[in-house]
Amino acid sequence: MLSRSNRRARYRRTEESRSRRSKVAALLAGIAIVASGTIIACSDNPVAPEASPHPFAAKEARALGPLTIARAGSYHNAFLDFSFPKVRSAIRAGADHKRACKAIAQAMREFVVEHKVGVDPRSIGDEIAGARCGGASGRKADPDGRFTLVGDGTTSVEFDAVVEEMVYAVEAGYSPTDLSALFDQKVAYARANFPAEEADVIAAAASVGLSSVEYWNANYETQLVYLQEARQQEAYNRLPVNEYALPGDRGARILVSPPADIRAWRAAAARIGIADLKGAVHGGITGSRGGWQGAVAGAVIEGGARSAGALLNELFK
């Protein structure tokens, strides 16, 4: 029979052994969890999707807040991020220029419904992305930027002059800081001298135009490369053999790069910004029948669609 001291010593050894076994088991379990996580992360078919299947969930839609003149630019940029995955998918599936335009128009219809913009999506025609997109209905895009306004029939000479100054500043490549200061001056001038309807259009277009320049300065190269890859991938998928894949890699995608000359892509980004600004003015005037809310909605819809359409023009040259 063991003495009390011997029993205590044996109990301590047993507990220490159990403790060591528990620690080892916990360590092995942790390693297994980490390893399994690594396997899932590196797998070609992860358990969870890499990104939300819908890029604009309800909370993100709420984050934009109500559509106002001040938020018009945020809505415009949100639409671009919303639409381009859909456009890429369409091009990857074989869409030509006109069908890619239809993808933009459909994305806009979905966007105005999801964000409760207050526009009947059926009123948005396939030509909304610009004159080169074709389409048979409704309003024809005016490439010269002179538009009809509700009320006295046509825009004033002063109104047209303000729009042209804004367009020139975008074309000249003003920095966002300088552009913001200039646009603020033009909005203040319009508020002091123009009818309310015209001033609302200038203000909405300024918000959209500034956000467009900021967006394309940051994203032109990336978005164009993604569209180029989608277009070339569609052609690549139709090849009988992967003769253009990288050596030793039959699954490689065709690699493309943006223009090497920074002046080239900045000039292209400026062209998109001009189309965007003119589209925002045109849409604002058309929507002004519904008051300032209609002017803002029109500026966002036509500015955003023209912006996306102008990038297609750079792709399908």
- Those residues with Cβ within 8 angstroms of residue 316's Cβ, 6 or more apart along the chain or in another chain: 96, 97, 100
Which H or E run contains 251? none
Average pLDDT, the chain: 76
Asked whether residue 295 carries a pLDDT value surpassing 60, the answer given is yes
pLDDT at 288: 86
Q: Is 54 helix (H, G, I), strand (E, B) or coil?
A: coil
**C-alpha dist (Å) from residue 275 to 11, 55, 304:** 83, 26, 10
Asked whether residue 78 carries a pLDDT value surpassing 80, the answer given is yes
Enter the pTM of the model: 0.70
Greatest extent of the chain over all pairs of C-alpha atoms, in Å: 114
59 or 279, which is more confident?
Answer: 279
What are the structural domain ranges in the chain?
1-50, 58-315
**C-alpha dist (Å) from residue 223 to 81, 226, 265, 316:** 10, 5, 12, 14
For range 155-178, the mean pLDDT: 93
The DSSP code sequence of 105-158 is: HHHHHHHHHHTT-SS-GGG--GGGG-GGG--SSSPPP-TT---EETTTEE--HH
Beta-bridge partners for 153:
149
